[in-house]
Amino acid sequence: MKRKIVSVLVCAAMVATMAVGCGSSSDTADTSADAAATEDAADDAAATEDAAADDAAAADDAAATGDVITVGFAQVGHESDWRTASTQSCQDVFSAENGYDLQFVDCDNDSAVQLEAVRGFIEQDVDYIIIDPIVSTGWDTVLTECEDAGIPVIVIDRTIDDSDKYVSWVGSEFKTEGLAAGEWLKAYAEAKGITELNILVIEGSTGASATIGRTDGFKEIADREGWNIIDSQTGDFTQEGGQTVMESYCKSYEGQFNVVICQNDNEAFGAMDAMTAAGVSYGVDGDVILVSFDGCRTALDYCLAGDINAVFECNPMAAPMVEEVIQALEAGETPEAEIYVEESCFANEDIVPTIEVNGESKEMTVVTQELIDARPF
Ligand code: AHR
């Protein structure tokens, strides 16, 4: 906290000094009111430019003197629209203007690269390390190294399941998302009079807690209801992966399925292309019920158009809450160990108003253009 305040004060002092200097030179140079006004306007523009340059210079100065907070972020990769939104959220929050020096590594969905990135941050002696773990296991050794180096680790989005050597985790309830999808499908099928569900699942990346949670949650409902899950294969959370898996499903299970569950939006986009190419109709007026997770704007566009029946949100805007954790640590406070982001459920039709998940009622929000326009991701 102290370091951030110092850097902001340095910046403000530099801008104030610059403004005083500009004002005094124009006051003494001209006596004509017009000339003074013209010069004042030019001075204003110059002052604005100077202030921006000063902000950047202050951030550089602060970095040089150790006044900024240095944060290393080992991001999963760039596999999906959700991931792009998550990266943007972190870059916006941990900006030089906000008093941070963000060291960002895109690990391209490679766990070995991610471990190396964390070790690189230890070598750089950053103040904090943020990890979005590609897979949920294999973390204890490197987290022990972070602990030994005295660098607090904050986990974002996906969970680490085989070590507790981190300060806080901020993210989504993946199993709840899967349960919600299952409960919605049950209520939707009943409302539509569909008695038999033959389901294909396109999973996310193998070993990711997002995949594990969504799979477990949905399967719990499927087992309880006696649904037939015909097949479940990974599409690696990518559009290409979703398309490839769906192409193969369309060949292997032609005419045998009426539900496709895609564990993220981009897989759903790929699955839609594959089904269109195979002559399979999907969505509200189609033969196949299509479900997706994430809820990025493009997916909600498709939901509004009736191509995707329902979308279960995974909220990528977790960085502000990670910053709160860091600021609590800077202030010598103990942050919450687990912080959940808020998430909604969306559908095209208004026939299932609420679902019950974990004993709680959850609203199914009908997608509108207004809702999409107001969405931050
Ligand atoms: O971990 C979150 C998941 O990873 C999102 O559902 C997916 O889109 C992303 O790639």
The owner of tokens 């294999």 is 138
276 C-alpha to ligand 1 centroid (Å) = 24
- Please write the tens of the pLDDT for every residue from 298-356: 999 999 999 999 999 999 999 999 999 999 999 999 999 999 999 999 999 999 999 99
DSSP state of 348: S
321 C-alpha to ligand 1 centroid (Å) = 18
| Residue 43 to residues 7, 22, 215, Cα–Cα distance (Å) | 26, 7, 61
243 C-alpha to ligand 1 centroid (Å) = 17
315 C-alpha to ligand 1 centroid (Å) = 9
Predicted pLDDT of residue 167 = 98
CA dihedral 191, 194, 200, 203 (to 10 degrees): 10
Predicted pLDDT of residue 67 = 82
Helix 209-225 × helix 174-192 angle, to 10°:
30
- Please write the tens of the pLDDT for every residue from 20-77: 222 222 332 233 334 444 454 445 445 445 544 544 554 555 555 558 999 999 999 9
Where in the chain is CATH 3.40.50.2300?
A: 69-172+317-340, 174-315+343-373
**Which residue lies with its CA nearest to atom 2 of ligand 1?**
210
Contacts of 148 (CB under 8 A, 6+ apart): none
CB 283 within 8 A of CB 306: yes
Nearest to 296 by CA among 210, 377, 193: 377
CB 332 within 8 A of CB 103: no
How many CB atoms within 10 Å of residue 251? 10
SS3 readout for 165-232: CCCEEEECCHHHHHHHHHHHHHHHHHHHCCCCCEEEEEECCCCCHHHHHHHHHHHHHHHHHCCEEEEE
Predicted pLDDT of residue 230 = 98
Give the full edge-to-edge strand order of the sheet including 289-294: 228-234, 198-203, 259-262, 289-294, 310-313, 345-347, 360-366, 354-357
Ligand 1 atom nearest the C-alpha of 265 is 8
Whole-number percent of the chain with pLDDT over 90: 82
CATH superfamily for domain 174-315+343-373: Response regulator (3.40.50.2300)
- Please write the tens of the pLDDT for every residue from 255-273: 999 999 999 999 999 999 9
**Cβ < 6 Å from ligand 1: which residues?**
79-80, 82-83, 157-158, 210, 237, 264, 293-294, 314
Q: Give domain 69-172+317-340's CATH architecture.
A: 3-Layer(aba) Sandwich (3.40)
Ligand 1 atom nearest the C-alpha of 293 is 6
**Which residue lies with its CA nearest to atom 3 of ligand 1?**
210
Ligand 1 atom nearest the C-alpha of 82 is 8
317 C-alpha to ligand 1 centroid (Å) = 12
